[in-house]
Structure 1
Amino acid sequence: MSDDQVNGHANGHANGRSALSLVPKTDAEQTLKDFKTDQEVRWCPGCGDYAILAAVQSFLPELGLKRENITFVSGIGCSSRFPYYMNTYGFHSIHGRAPAIATGLATSRPDLSVWVVTGDGDALSIGGNHLIHALRRNVNLKILLFNNRIYGLTKGQYSPTSETGKITKSTPMGSLDAPFNPISLAVGAEGTFVARTIDSDRKHLQSVLRAAAEHRGTALVEIYQNCNIFNDGAFDPLKDAAVRDDITIRLEHGRPIVFGREGEKAVVRGAGGGLEVVPTASVDASRIVVHDAANPDPSAAFALSRLDSPAFEHTPIGIFRDVDRPSYDELMRAQVEEAAERQGPGDLAALIAGGDTWRID
């Protein structure tokens, strides 16, 4: 498949504008080595984070951006070491607040490509509120959510994405919680770009990252990532060559949703309005759902996200939603320009020393 097919590109940038249009470009050719730092990479041997780091360092040179105009912001967790290993600007911030800090940076500096690196615990527990508001505002930043379904840094407690019944150090009799589906959550917040990929599928991962980088507004990319110490093999069915093609639904914009080794399974709309997986041979081709990532109605992408199953009977990956909407940054700058036209340029010193002051004796 071509990159566009893997991405499920919806051509959301119909007006020709891109998230990178204001970011300065470099004249020098870049390579992976330009984005590596001299810091020792300190993840457990075999951690899926290594694969994600290598994929990001490999694809960034293709964007041709000045490294000083790229910023990675992280919260707390294993994934949040990421800024140390990227030879760009970075900010290792506080637990769950990376989207809030990145929002301030992205809105004040349109010349930056701003990335958030977070985990399922950091983003969906203490950081859940910040995440959903960044998504609904459509701030021009890219959120990489590493999902290993466990708290790794604090040694193996259950996380907001751990499956019900999960036995961990904090749930010795099994988790009672119903897990979050990050894709459903992001689509529910009407995120304009929502995607899922896998740490071990480098081609797919990089193609999704390229599309996210270009997207105007907030792009959330959930990355299934293996924690080989505290939750090893959590996504093995999606990586096992013997079964992965039978259960992985690869979303391709504009194409019928058919999967399986021989295309023997298809997604159709059920009698109740939801989506169902049926044998392809059992339905007329006209009934098979054609994936439309650019559909402004989020209910279509939400229905796709509900096909996901903790037991991996079938799991969609790719771009669920890619719609065009003005970013928060653009709207904010337009308001500032309008105010300046009406009232003239501001004078901060005059404002501080202006008439609206008082003295307390």
Structure 2
Amino acid sequence: MNEVTKLTTAKDWASDQEVRWCPGCGDYAVLKAVQRTMPDLGVAREKTVFISGIGCSSRFPYYMASYGFHTIHGRACAVATGTKLANPELDVWIITGDGDALSIGGNHTMHMLRRNLDCQLLLFNNEIYGLTKGQYSPTSRVGTRSPSTPFGSVDRPANPCAFALGSGARFVARGIDVHKNLPEVLKAAHAHRGASFVEIFQNCVVYNDDVFASFTDKSVAADKQLWLKTGEKMLFAAGTKGLALDMDRHMLKVVDGDSDEVLVHDPRNRAIAHMLVEMPASAFPVALGVLYEDPAPTFDSAVTEQNQFAANGKAADLQKLVSQGQTWQVEKEPRAE
């Protein structure tokens, strides 16, 4: 944990910059959730850095009263890796969107996750390119009409959490922009040592409004949201329904809440985590909270340990370093008389 210089409040984490997103954008709710969460984490602003790529979500660093980088499209994970290796004491947060992280930045996201860099990655998923005026994105659903798919998208969408699990992520979670449980998900992500991947369902009111209404609307939320808690049964619909294993079909199934078959959530079970993120929304609730967590040694700690081993017993000598190997000296020629 970072060394704390003083206790902070949510206001301490809000910068003096005017927040500029479309009225009603879900980004406002995520920003407030993060600002409210930071004081509870006991971290110091001078040892915290928010790093973003390009997109609506990537304005985020301007609005946090900490250090930050607004980098280039898809490269937030690369910059974050360099930042953490240069100063392992920093608390690194990556802010990105579904287009930024899964299209041009897909390879960087994958490698950061498999390396297990100690950081928190918040992926704002609104299933659309908002900043560039509503083109379809890697997560847009089949049939999505947009300026780049006027007849409807024929692409099968990427599943961010399935991508993270497939990339070797050791912590995978989901939240909703306006849900009261989002701060708890953020706290769990921060407590995890290693790369924490958090997908946040974020509503774009201009180009993809209510795309998540089938499980976020208050009228259906109880039946369509499954908030997972370690060691507790996977229950939803006010406890009347639960999830169990269908051994014949090798998948999950919905059963009565009082059934002995109802699964107890174990975040270390990678196979079940894969099933949870791939449940079809038409027949299952959306799994939320911490889906998978199984800590492993971090990339930055391994690099630091290796560097310390390599430097053990050696004195730093820059002149010796630049003079070793094949070197030569240019002699000054005498001036012609």
TM-score normalised by the chain length of structure 2:
0.93
Compare 268-277 and 219-228 and name the one that shifted more. Answer: 268-277
Summarize deviations over 1:1-53 as a string: whole Å, max 9, x none. Answer: xxxxxxxxxxxxxxxxxxx2xx2212x22111111111111100000000000
Task: Give the match for residue 24 of structure 1.
Answer: 3
- For the 8 Å contact 2:243–2:252, the answer to whether it is kept is no
Summarize deviations over 1:190-237 as a string: whole Å, max 9, x none. Answer: 2011100000103x1100101111211100110000000000011123
Q: Secondary structure at the match of 1:319?
A: strand
Query: Structure 1 pair 220/357, CA: closer, same or farther in 2 (3 Å)?
Result: farther
Query: Structure 1 pair 180/359, CA: closer, same or farther in 2 (3 Å)?
Result: farther
Is residue 2:301 matched to residue 1:330? yes
**Larger Rg: 1 or 2?**
2
Distance 2:215 2:319 in 1: 59
5+ long unaligned stretches in structure 2: 331-337
5+ long unaligned stretches in structure 1: 1-19
2:21 paired residue among 28, 37, 43? 43
Task: Give the match for residue 163 of structure 2.
Answer: 185
- For the 8 Å contact 1:196–1:223, the answer to whether it is kept is yes
Distance 1:29 1:257 in 2: 37
Is residue 2:54 matched to residue 1:84? no
Residue 147 of structure 1 deviates from its aligned partner by 0.3
Q: Secondary structure at the match of 1:301?
A: helix
Residue 276 of structure 1 deviates from its aligned partner by 2.2
Q: Secondary structure at the match of 1:136?
A: helix
Task: Give the match for residue 220 of structure 2.
Answer: 243
Distance 1:359 1:299 in 2: 63
Residue 312 of structure 1 deviates from its aligned partner by 7.5
Summarize deviations over 1:234-262 as a string: whole Å, max 9, x none. Answer: 11232222211111111111122121134
Amino acid at match of 2:317: D
Amino acid at match of 1:221: V
- Where do 1:1-361 residues align within 5 Å? 20=1, 23-26=2-5, 28-202=6-180, 204-280=181-257, 284-285=259-260, 287-295=261-269, 298-309=270-281, 311=282, 313-341=284-312, 344-357=314-327
Task: Give the match for residue 9 of structure 1.
Answer: none
Amino acid at match of 1:344: K
- Please provide the CA RMSD for this pair: 1.9
Residue 90 of structure 1 deviates from its aligned partner by 0.5
Task: Give the match for residue 5 of structure 1.
Answer: none
Amino acid at match of 2:304: R
Distance 1:260 1:206 in 2: 22
Residue 357 of structure 1 deviates from its aligned partner by 3.8
- For the 8 Å contact 2:125–2:200, the answer to whether it is kept is yes
Amino acid at match of 1:354: Q
Distance 1:172 1:191 in 2: 35
- For the 8 Å contact 1:308–1:316, the answer to whether it is kept is no
Q: Which has the higher contact order (CA 8 A, sep 6+)?
A: 1
Distance 1:108 1:76 in 2: 23
Amino acid at match of 2:136: Y
Query: Structure 1 pair 265/293, CA: closer, same or farther in 2 (3 Å)?
Result: closer
Residue 356 of structure 1 deviates from its aligned partner by 4.0
Q: Secondary structure at the match of 1:196?
A: strand
Distance 2:243 2:77 in 1: 37
Amino acid at match of 2:286: T
- For the 8 Å contact 1:258–1:267, the answer to whether it is kept is no
Residue 304 of structure 1 deviates from its aligned partner by 1.5
Q: Secondary structure at the match of 1:71?
A: strand
Distance 2:308 2:102 in 1: 35
Amino acid at match of 1:314: P
Query: Structure 1 pair 312/67, CA: closer, same or farther in 2 (3 Å)?
Result: farther
- For the 8 Å contact 1:120–1:147, the answer to whether it is kept is yes
Q: Secondary structure at the match of 2:306?
A: helix
Identity percentage of aligned residues: 47
Distance 1:208 1:98 in 2: 21
Task: Give the match for residue 14 of structure 1.
Answer: none
Q: Secondary structure at the match of 1:278?
A: strand
Residue 358 of structure 1 deviates from its aligned partner by 5.9
Query: Structure 1 pair 358/215, CA: closer, same or farther in 2 (3 Å)?
Result: farther
Amino acid at match of 1:253: T
Distance 1:31 1:109 in 2: 25
Compare 272-281 and 190-199 and name the one that shifted more. Answer: 272-281
Amino acid at match of 2:287: P
Query: Structure 1 pair 272/358, CA: closer, same or farther in 2 (3 Å)?
Result: farther
Distance 1:46 1:312 in 2: 30
Segments of 4+ moved more than 4 angstroms: none
